[in-house]
């Protein structure tokens, strides 16, 4: 329900109602805007975000000047932080990155395990796809994985590259499907916005931010950092009420 309709319903305002000149005098209370770092802190600490929106106690009709008192308050549902284990996957035929991250309320995310499934060029495409499937299955069997997250393919150089990448993605997704794990996909822009706060961030910026969020001591390989990034994106943007 929009503000105008909500106010008309509660206060019986006429169709000529206007917000002009009302904002400073009626005391509209809205949820404060939070920057990315503040949202990280709230998510990692498991704190609920304030979501109450209170309608102004007094509204003024711009045409008649009649003042209407409103006592109703709309309370939006509070988004609960994601809890559970996410397997992030950065699929590639010769170097698929995997990152298993655990999320618990009140503490930072924990990187349980990560690896890069490397397949030498001398091996056939079929052999590489089999290695990807086995690697993903091994991670899914190691702990109770709640969700699987992958990065969407937005741009590829040519048709052959698209076919190869699609096959690698298919091997990973099939492994998750056979284990009855929900699979979620996110575009690269959204991953960067959720993790770094900037959609044009470089791979190096993403890797540094991922390691900072996870408190990881050693430098992650590029594919593993990308896999961890998409897992963090899933947990940070997951809508659950």
Active site residues per annotation: 90, 151, 223
> Which structure tokens are listed for 194?
């959720």
How far is residue 113's CA from residue 110's CA, in Å, rounded to a whole number?
A: 9
Bridge partners, residue 147, by sequence: 86
- Nearest CA to 98 out of 176, 2, 12, 202 is that of 176
Asked if 48 and 79 count as a contact pair (C-beta separation under 8 A), the reply is yes
3-state secondary structure of 131: helix
Question: How many residues does the structure list for the chain?
Answer: 241
Asked if 161 and 123 count as a contact pair (C-beta separation under 8 A), the reply is no
- Rounded to whole angstroms, what are the CA distances from 1 to 9, 75, 131, 150, 181? 10, 12, 51, 35, 35
3-state secondary structure of 39: helix
How far is residue 186's CA from residue 103's CA, in Å, rounded to a whole number?
A: 19
> Which structure tokens are listed for 127?
């052999």
How far is residue 174's CA from residue 168's CA, in Å, rounded to a whole number?
A: 10
Sort 179 into a burial class: Cβ within 10 Å, 0-12 / 13-18 / 19+.
Answer: middle
């Amino acid at each position: 329900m929009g503000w105008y309709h909500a106010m008309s319903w509660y206060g019986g305002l006429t169709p000529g109602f206007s917000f002009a000149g009302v904002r400073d005098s009626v005391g509209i209370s809205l949820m404060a805007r939070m920057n990315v770092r503040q949202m990280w802190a709230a998510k990692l600490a498991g704190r609920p975000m304030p979501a109450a929106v209170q309608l102004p106690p007094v509204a003024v009709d711009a045409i008649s000047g009649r003042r209407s008192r409103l006592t109703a308050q709309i309370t939006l549902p509070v988004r609960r932080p994601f809890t559970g284990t996410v397997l992030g996957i950065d699929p590639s035929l010769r170097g698929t990155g995997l990152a298993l991250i655990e999320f618990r309320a009140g503490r930072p995310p924990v990187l349980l395990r990560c690896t890069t499934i490397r397949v030498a060029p001398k091996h056939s495409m079929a052999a590489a796809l089999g290695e990807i499937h086995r690697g993903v299955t091994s991670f899914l069997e190691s702990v109770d994985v709640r969700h699987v997250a992958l990065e969407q393919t937005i741009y590829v150089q040519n048709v052959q590259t698209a076919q190869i990448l699609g096959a690698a993605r298919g091997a990973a997704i099939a492994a998750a499907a056979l284990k009855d794990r929900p699979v979620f996909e996110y575009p690269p822009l959204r991953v960067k916005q959720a993790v770094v706060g900037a959609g044009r961030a470089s791979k190096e910026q993403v890797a540094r931010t991922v390691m900072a969020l996870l408190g990881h001591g050693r430098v992650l390989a590029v594919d593993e950092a990308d896999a961890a990034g998409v897992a963090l994106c899933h947990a940070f943007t997951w809508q659950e009420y």
